[in-house]
Amino acid sequence: MNCDQFKDSLLTDYVDRVLDPEKQKIADAHIGQCAECRRLIADLRTVTAETFGQVREIEPPAHVWAGIVERVQPSPGWFEKVCAVLTLPRLSIAIPVLASLMLFTFVQLRQPEVSYDITRAYLSRELGGDFGVLSNEDLENGSFGTVIEDFFM
Amino acid sequence: MQEIATDTLERAGDGDLQAFNEIYRSSAGFVYSIALRMARNTADAEEITQDVFVKAYKNLKAYEGRSSFKTWIYRIAMNTAINFCKKRSAEFKKRELREREPSPGVVSNEAEKNLFKEDAEKKLGELLGCLNEDQRACILLREIEGLDYRQIADVLKIELNTVRSRLKRAREAMIAYARQGGVKDEL
Between B78 and A131, name the one with better pLDDT: B78
- Cα–Cα distance between B27 and B78 in angstroms, integer? 13
Q: A145: pLDDT confidence band, cut at 50, 70 and 90?
A: low
| Surface of A (50-69) touching B: CB under 8 A | 50-52, 54-55, 57-61, 63-65, 67-69
Q: Is the pLDDT of residue B3 over 50?
A: yes
pLDDT of amino acid A149 = 64
Say whether the ipTM exceeds 0.85: no
Among the residue ranges A46-50, A115-119, B64-68, B167-171, the one predicted with the least confidence is: A115-119
- CA A15 to chain B, closest CA, distance in angstroms equals 10
Residue of A nearest to B178 (CA): A47
Summarised one tens digit per residue, pLDDT across range B17-64 is 999 999 999 999 999 999 999 998 899 999 999 999 999 999 988 887
Give the span between the Cα atoms of B182 and B126, in whole angstroms. Answer: 7
Closest CA in chain A for residue B162: A12
Q: SS3 sequence, chain A?
A: CCHHHHHHHHHHHHCCCCCCHHHHHHHHHHHHHCHHHHHHHHHHHHHHHHHHCCCCCCCCCHHHHHHHHHHHCCCCCHHHHHHHHHCCHHHHHHHHHHHHHHHHHHHHHCCCCCCHHHHHHHHHHHHCCCCCCCCHHHHHHCCCCCHHHHHHC
Residue B126 to chain A, least CA–CA distance (Å): 10
User: Using CB atoms, which residue from A8, A18, A58 is nearest to B168?
Assistant: A8
Task: Please report the domains of chain B, with CATH numbers, ordered by start residue.
Answer: 6-179 (1.10.1740.10)
Q: What pLDDT was estimated at residue B46?
A: 95
* H or E element, residue B161: helix B160-179
pLDDT of B87-140, one tens digit each?
888 887 777 777 655 444 444 455 455 555 567 788 888 889 899 999 999 999
Q: Mention every residue, 6+ apart, whose C-beta is less than 8 A from residue A95.
A: A86
Q: CA-nearest residue of chain A to B142?
A: A16
**Quick one: pLDDT band at residue B143, thresholds 50, 70, 90?**
very high
Residue A39 backbone dihedrals phi, psi, to 5 degrees: -65, -40
- Selecting from B21, B50, B142 the residue whose C-beta is nearest the C-beta of A71 gives B50
Is residue A39's pLDDT more than 70? yes
- Give the number of residues written for chain A: 153
Contact A65 B171 (CB under 8 A): no
Residues sharing a CB contact under 8 Å with residue A143, sequence separation 6 or more, in sequence order: A137, A150
